[in-house]
Structure 1
Amino acid sequence: MKLLMYSVRDAEKPFATAWAEKNGHELKTIDQPLTADTVDLAAGFDGVSIQQTEGLGDTAVYAKLASLGIKQLAARMVGVDMIDLAACKQNGITVTNVPVYSPRAIAEMGVSQAMYLLRRVGEFNARMKDGDFRWSDDLISNEIYNLTVGIIGLGNIGGATAQIYKALGARVLAYDPFYNVEYEPFVEYADFETVVKSADILSLHTPLLPSTENMIAAPQFAMMKDSAYLINMARGKLVNTADLISALEEHQIAGAGVDTLSDETSFFGKKVSPDQVSADYKKLAAMPNVLVTPHVAFLTQTSIRNMVEISLNDAVAIVEGRRSQNEVRS
């Protein structure tokens, strides 16, 4: 079987090579994403794996894949909002993702950002750059066991996040439309508004859907404690960025840690010139009470290996006419 991997990073290549040798399949890796300009590269292949945040293009891309005999798209990530699922269904293309590659990786990044903000490290750094090394009463921190953490979205990543905070001694409140008894030892379930209002650290772990887009905006910032921190390790469009900037400037919240932004696809994951970076990013990055990372919460050795292997195993399964537990339903 011949498989093509798009958007392959150097760190993925050893795992991809090892998988191909172990399973006896022919595998080609390229660094370009799947777009209208690169779709023809799939000619002669049986299956395709992708890893990207930008969209694939219009429906012609999906029709072209189908015309090349491609019956599946194996996404090497959780989110598939860059894929037109309706167009895939129309063209007989089965989409798989990797819903569980390493929940701990993303959970640990979110907790790391929260602790950085909670201990006011960025604010101390800003003052030290100006030669001010004094202890400061206005930068006294709290300790995590005194705080309430609010989790929005209690799936694999949200559940792992809850377990870490619980182990650190925090009270953990959680909202999810689907109840999961597995997390009862770590969380208290509550309604969305209660979680938002009660949280000292509000951590987002939901997929991007029409119902979740801008789920945190001006009304929610008005509900939050002015001492609270927002952590978004999920999708940028869960948060209204303009409202986030306003909330920070008006001291409605204490700070924010974000691994994702609503307009990130034009510059995250790329080397760009300063004029290509959005004004929103520049404003946020300049704030000492904000920590921005370029959608890298997943980036650990464990995650990369699992994303490669699970994605390619699913591609083979679909091509061979078998089912995968990771099929995405439109």
Structure 2
Amino acid sequence: MKVICYAVAPLEDSYIKNWAKKNDVEVKILREDLNEKTVHLAEGFDGISSEGIEPVTEEVYDQLAKFGLKQLAVRQVGFDNQDLEAAKKYGIKITNVASYSPRAIAEMGVTHAMYLLRQVGIYYNRMNHGNFNFEERTLSREIFNCTIGLIGGGHIGGATAQIYSSLGAKVLLFDPYYDAALEPFVEYTDLDTIFKKSDIISLHTPLLPSTTNIINSESISKMEKQPILINMARGGLVDTSALIDALKSGKISGAGLDTLANEAEFFGKEHVKESDLPDDYKELVNMDNVLITPHVAFFTKLAVKNSIEIALNDMKSIINGKGSKNIVNL
């Protein structure tokens, strides 16, 4: 069996090679993304995997089908850059890694929230300018006195709920699908209640037409407690201009962002010139009540290992005609 892996980061090499040796599979590793210009490199292979960051067009699926490939294993949770209907049209089964380490992302979200809740950014900025004072404006709250509003109760949302609950916070959850396993940690409610009653709002939902810009000027207007907003999911869930306005007005007291709507322009790249950075990013990053990380919430040793092994195991299973529970375009 021969398989090809696109968009492999150097740190992934050893994990892929270990999997290949353990499974007696020949693997070709590429740094390039999967797109119209690179899809020809997949000819002659039995299976294919990609990081799944760059959007994949119908032309790519067409070519994969012509090469006899029947699957594409995405090595991450998100699959919004895949055209699922086009892939299905050409008989390409798309798999994702639905749960490689929910705790990794949940912990990063809570880290952002605690940083903002305790005003660390404000103190850090002041100290860099020789000001070591504190006053009423920077008076913090303790997490057990906060109400957390989670939008999305999947693997990551559920792990987030458990952490906040263990810290003594009250956790509200909005999700269209009920999960009885979360009952010890959350109180299910509607979206408007999340906006109205939460001190911290944390997003854990896929990017869908129904969730795009779920945080917008209208939803922000319903927020009564000047909450902290945490987004560890997808940048497109937030209307960035509306968020900036809310931060300036104090309607939202802080924002922890591991993802931005336009992040593909600069996240994951080195030596990005300041002149090439989007204006909204430059405005956000200079606010001392905003914390931005470059989509690295997933980035732990366990998560990287699991994302590769789960994706490649699914790939092998489908090639051998056994299917996978992680197919997202049945």
TM-score, normalised by the number of residues in structure 2: 0.98
Instruction: Report matched runs for 1:176-187 at 5 Å.
Output: 176-187=175-186
Please state whether the residue corresponding to 2:256 is helix, strand or coil. strand
Q: Which residue of 2 aligns with 1:227?
A: 226
Structure 1 CA distance for aligned equivalents of residues 62 and 274 of structure 2: 37
Q: Which deviates more from structure 2 when the two are superposed, residues 151-160 or residues 223-232? A: 223-232
Structure 1 CA distance for aligned equivalents of residues 54 and 40 of structure 2: 18
Structure 1 CA distance for aligned equivalents of residues 279 and 68 of structure 2: 43
Deviations 1:33-82 (A, max 9, x none): 101111111111111111132212x3211111111111100000111011
Please state whether the residue corresponding to 1:138 is helix, strand or coil. helix
Aligned AA (1:3): V
* 1:275 CA drift (Å): 2.3
Conserved 8 A contact 1:236-1:260: yes
Conserved 8 A contact 1:77-1:99: yes
Please state whether the residue corresponding to 2:168 is helix, strand or coil. coil
Conserved 8 A contact 1:203-1:230: yes
Instruction: Report matched runs for 1:131-150 at 5 Å.
Output: 131-150=130-149
Q: Which runs of 5+ in 2 are unaligned?
A: none
Please state whether the residue corresponding to 1:326 is helix, strand or coil. coil
Deviations 1:82-101 (A, max 9, x none): 11111101111000000010
Structure 2 CA distance for aligned equivalents of residues 54 and 124 of structure 1: 38
Structure 2 CA distance for aligned equivalents of residues 240 and 53 of structure 1: 20
Please state whether the residue corresponding to 1:32 is helix, strand or coil. coil
Please state whether the residue corresponding to 1:275 is helix, strand or coil. helix
Q: Which residue of 1 aligns with 2:303?
A: 303
Q: Which runs of 5+ in 1 are unaligned?
A: none
Q: Which deviates more from structure 2 when the two are superposed, residues 181-190 or residues 275-284? A: 275-284
Pair 1:277-2:277 in alignment: yes
Please state whether the residue corresponding to 1:3 is helix, strand or coil. strand
Deviations 1:205-230 (A, max 9, x none): 00010011011100111111353100
Q: Which residue of 2 aligns with 1:61?
A: 60
Q: Which residue of 2 aligns with 1:242?
A: 241
Deviations 1:285-319 (A, max 9, x none): 01000001111100000100000000001111111
Aligned AA (1:114): A
Pair 1:286-2:286 in alignment: yes
Deviations 1:219-270 (A, max 9, x none): 1111113531000000001111110111111111101001001111111111
Q: Which residue of 2 aligns with 1:106?
A: 105
Conserved 8 A contact 1:200-1:225: no
Instruction: Report matched runs for 1:16-27 at 5 Å.
Output: 16-27=16-27
Q: Which residue of 2 aligns with 1:195?
A: 194
Aligned AA (2:326): N
Structure 1 CA distance for aligned equivalents of residues 240 and 170 of structure 2: 28
Structure 2 CA distance for aligned equivalents of residues 209 and 322 of structure 1: 29
Aligned AA (1:290): V
Q: Which residue of 2 aligns with 1:125?
A: 124
Please state whether the residue corresponding to 2:37 is helix, strand or coil. coil
Structure 2 CA distance for aligned equivalents of residues 118 and 282 of structure 1: 22
Aligned AA (1:228): P
Aligned AA (1:295): H
Q: Which residue of 2 aligns with 1:160?
A: 159
Q: Which residue of 2 aligns with 1:3?
A: 3
Percent of aligned pairs with the same amino acid = 52
Conserved 8 A contact 2:254-2:290: yes
RMSD: 1.0
Query: Would you identify which runs of 4 or more consecutive aligned residues in structure 1 move more than 6 Å?
Result: none
Aligned residues: 329
